Structure formats: C-alpha cells, structure tokens
Chains A and B, each alone.
Chain A
Amino acid sequence: MNRVVITGSGTINALGNDVPQTLVSMREGRCGIGPLKFRDVDRLSVKIGAQVKGYNETDYFDHKELTLFDRFTQFAILAARQAVEESGLIFDEELSESSGVLLGTAAGGMNTWEDNYRAVFESGKNRVHPFVVPKLMHNAAACTISMEFNLKGPSFTVSTACASSNHAIGLAFQMVRSGMAKIMVTGGSESMLTFGGVKAWEGLRVMSKDACRPFSGNRSGMVQGEGAGIFILETFENAISRGANILAEIVGFAMNSDASHIVMPSKRGAAISISRALKDAQINISDVSYINAHGTGTRANDTTECAAIESVFGGHLKNLMISSTKSMHGHLIGATGAVELLACIMALRDGIVAPTIGYEQKDETCALDVVPNFARNAKVKAVVSNAFAFGGMNAVLVLKSP
C-alpha cells in the first residue's frame, strides 16, 4: 500500500478566491457570512449566506464555455487550475492514463435546474438550451476537469449531501493508496446558494437568520455557503522523486452509515466512523491534536458530535482542540469537507489552528476546547476531519505531516 500525500490545493469560497486568501481569513477569524445578494431574496425568510465575493463568471469563461459550465462547474475548474498549478504536474500521455478525477457534490448544477425551471414553468417557454443536461449533471464538474487536463484515468462524482467531499477525498485516497490510480484530482464543489436552494432548506427550520455559532449555547442553526476545494493526491514516493512540495499526508479514512434517521445524527454512528478512521490511519487517540468538526451550528449536530468525540477520545479530551470553520465559510454542503481540508493543512503545515468564531456562550453539551473566536498557534501532530451527513452517512479523514 502506498503512502498518499497532497501536493496541490485550490479553492474559491466566501473567505477567498484562492488558498492563500482563504488561509489568511481563517487565521484572522474573518466572517464570510453576510446578506444574500441574488434575485428574489425578499421572498426568503433566511436572508444570510456565505457567498463567494467579487466573482464575475465572464472574467474567467467565454460565452461558449458558459453554455456548458454551471456555477458549480465554474468553481470546480477554477479551484482545479490552482491545484494543478501548485502541484507542478504535467499530464503527459502516460501519466494521464492513470490519473482521475473524483469530486463530491450534493446538488450539482442547481443554478441550471433553477434557471430552466423558471423559463419553462414560470415563463412558459417551450424550449430550453440544448446543453441543459450536460450542464446540470452531477458529474459535469469532474468531466470538465478531466477534459481540461487530459485525465483519462478513473473518474466519477459522489453525492452524500454534506459528506460528499469527505467521501470523494477518502475514495481518491484509497485509489492512490491501492495503486489503482497514480494521481487523483479530488475535492468538491457546490453552488446551492440560490433562491430555490435556500427556499428548500428553510422548511427544515435548521437555518440561522443571523449567524453560524457552532458549539455556542446560543447557536441558532446553520448558514449555507458555496464554493469549491480541489486537491491533488499522489503517492509519497512519486512526490519525493519529482521534488514536489508536500502539503500534508492523508493517513486514514473511514465511512459508515447510521441506519437510523433521515436527518438526525447518531452519536454511535459518528463515534464509530471516527474510531475506524483512526484505526485505518494506525494512529492513537493521544496523537490527535486537532479535529476539524462537522460543526454545523445546529442544536442536533453539535451536541451529538461532541458526545461522539468524548466517547472516542475519553481522557485525551483536555489535549484536543476542536473547531468548526463553518462559522466563517458557512456550510458548503457537498463542498464543505474540501474547503475544511484547508484548515487541516494549515494546522499541520503552519501550526495554526483555525477558530470557531461567533462563540458567545458555553453549552454544557459541547464543553470541549472549541478554539473560540481566535486562532491558535500550536504544534499539531495528527488531524481528524469529520463529516456527518443527512441520512446518517459519515465520512472521516485523518491527516498528518509527512
């Protein structure tokens, strides 16, 4: 089995349009959440979100490309370009045959669905653009990346709601570890922050109207974000032999199902996924310094997640930092695990642990060190990244410095 490392990263999200900007924002505890700016916002009862800032699609793509690139594909390709550039990889014919793309997304080309539903149902139009299908399909982003970089290896897209990115990255990790692929471009992309997307979420009554305050006693729910995070995975040996810069090493992954409730999380299911990920990584609980939590800011998740962490880490809790960067970049749903991986890399490589901002009040059910409000300098050994999705699908990654 090969060791697997990350040699490239890219992102676009509410905290920045690239990785350096995003990490600065995380370090400084900036909040990317603000009033939503899109059509029909006045018809929403939730009017806040973490939107990508200062982004104009025509700055990056021409008219022909835009007929095929939904916003979620745009985010993915921009992040992928950053990641491939950072990795320094050139995909010649031989390498391209064993290099693939594995992305996660929950809603795929939602903007395209919405625009065309509006045209057909609301405006009564009788024809839509011929490219609507290839534009909205969940695999559009992965296909576009594969085509742009000539990646002919195994590629697909996974969808497990809020755990999509962790599942994608975890599977990509396993593919490189087993030798099935030499290089994997992986991560996630989401653009559900539309009128319809927010309207759909409102009914569940789990969204906050003012802020995302994970673990805080006065937390009032989640806040949606948007964006993409893309990473290049390859074997440790390959990275070393070509003198690549290694950002972090992925050492373990586990996924399991609660088989319990369609939206409520399970302490047992979450705890088992964390334990199994540590076992897969062959890491002791005492070696974990930081957990990037799922930490959505809902009453249900945060309490359950803390209980799960307590049951796994027991006596080691006092040495453990847990933070939720969703407080800053929002919940990117299918892309959230990918953007959160950046916080994991920052912790390991830069020794900076991102804070949980918006923390105002202690909650007895979340009485852990949640790195409230300010980032912390720390020597970080191993890092765990949690994702616990609707329908009880859990996916946990473990990383350390190489």
Chain B
Amino acid sequence: MTIKDKVVKIIAEQGMLNVNDITQTATLKDLGIDSLAIVESIFVIEEEFNINVPFNANCPEESNFDVSSVSSIIKSVEKLVAEQV
C-alpha cells in the first residue's frame, strides 16, 4: 500500500466511510470529521508511519501539517516520512 492509500484508509475509518467516498479535494469537515476526530486521525497516522506530527489544534495553520484537505494531508505525511529517512 502506498502512503496515499494508507492515509485514505485511516481517514475513511475515522469518518466511518468507504475509501471510495474519499475524494482528494474533500475537506475533513466535508467528511464529517470534527476536531476531536482530526486529533485521533493524527494519532493513528503517527502510529502507522512512525512519525511525529507537529500539530496544534489551536493554531492549525502554523504547523507544518496541512489538514485542510485529504490531498494536503497526504502531501504532509509524505514529506514527514521522507524527512525521517
């Protein structure tokens, strides 16, 4: 599974949706994922990829982790995984 596939699977599980319902441009809000579910998603992502995600829910734009859309999350995870290697 690629990073993209894994991230989509995690987001789908959080939103209790089918992976096919997750479009790249969808925002988490569109998918019914609230602030607490975002935080849980980040935990699952950290566990899955063994990375540290610098996310603060108070100032989400300031972290290097862009949660504005599914594609931005995938890009951010890819970047963090690459940095770790």
Check if B30 is an interface residue, CB within 8 A of chain A: no
- Bound CA span A367–B57, Å: 63
- Bound CA span A127–B43, Å: 8
Check if B21 is an interface residue, CB within 8 A of chain A: no
Task: Give residues of chain A (125-184) contacting chain B, Cβ–Cβ below 8 Å.
Answer: 127, 129-131
- Bound CA span A129–B36, Å: 12
With both chains docked as a complex, state the minimum distance between the C-beta of A6 and any C-beta of chain B, in angstroms: 35
Specify which of A64, A67, A127, A131 is in contact with B47 (CB 8 Å cutoff): A127
| Given A130-B36, A130-B39, 12 further pairs, Cβ under 8 A | A64-B16, A67-B40, A127-B43, A127-B46, A127-B47, A129-B40, A129-B43, A130-B40, A130-B42, A130-B43, A131-B36, A131-B40
B residues with a Cβ closer than 8 A to A are: 16, 36, 39-40, 42-43, 46-47
- Bound CA span A201–B46, Å: 37
Which residues in B have their C-beta under 8 angstroms from that of A129?
Answer: 40, 43
With both chains docked as a complex, state the minimum distance between the C-beta of A137 and any C-beta of chain B, in angstroms: 15
Task: Give residues of chain A (63-89) contacting chain B, Cβ–Cβ below 8 Å.
Answer: 64, 67
Residue-by-residue, is A103-137 near B (CB-CB < 8 Å gives 1, otherwise 0)?
Answer: 00000000000000000000000010111000000
Which residues in A have their C-beta under 8 angstroms from that of B47?
Answer: 127
Which residues in A have their C-beta under 8 angstroms from that of B43?
Answer: 127, 129-130
- Bound CA span A131–B37, Å: 10
- Bound CA span A131–B34, Å: 14
With both chains docked as a complex, state the minimum distance between the C-beta of A172 and any C-beta of chain B, in angstroms: 30
- Bound CA span A130–B55, Å: 12
Which residues in B have their C-beta under 8 angstroms from that of A64?
Answer: 16
A-B contact pairs, 13 of them (CB 8 A): A64-B16, A67-B40, A127-B46, A127-B47, A129-B40, A129-B43, A130-B36, A130-B39, A130-B40, A130-B42, A130-B43, A131-B36, A131-B40
With both chains docked as a complex, state the minimum distance between the C-beta of B61 and any C-beta of chain A, in angstroms: 20
- Bound CA span A129–B40, Å: 7
- Bound CA span A67–B42, Å: 15
With both chains docked as a complex, state the minimum distance between the C-beta of A124 and any C-beta of chain B, in angstroms: 14
A129's nearest neighbour on chain B, judged by CB, is B43
- Bound CA span A129–B43, Å: 7
- Bound CA span A130–B40, Å: 6
A63's nearest neighbour on chain B, judged by CB, is B13
A67's nearest neighbour on chain B, judged by CB, is B40
With both chains docked as a complex, state the minimum distance between the C-beta of A292 and any C-beta of chain B, in angstroms: 42
Which residues in A have their C-beta under 8 angstroms from that of B39?
Answer: 130
With both chains docked as a complex, state the minimum distance between the C-beta of B75 and any C-beta of chain A, in angstroms: 22
Which residues in B have their C-beta under 8 angstroms from that of A131?
Answer: 36, 40
- Bound CA span A49–B40, Å: 35
- Bound CA span A195–B21, Å: 44
- Bound CA span A129–B47, Å: 10
- Bound CA span A67–B41, Å: 13
Which residues in B have their C-beta under 8 angstroms from that of A127?
Answer: 43, 46-47
With both chains docked as a complex, state the minimum distance between the C-beta of B66 and any C-beta of chain A, in angstroms: 19
With both chains docked as a complex, state the minimum distance between the C-beta of A314 and any C-beta of chain B, in angstroms: 58
- Bound CA span A64–B36, Å: 12
With both chains docked as a complex, state the minimum distance between the C-beta of A132 and any C-beta of chain B, in angstroms: 10
A126's nearest neighbour on chain B, judged by CB, is B52
With both chains docked as a complex, state the minimum distance between the C-beta of B45 and any C-beta of chain A, in angstroms: 11
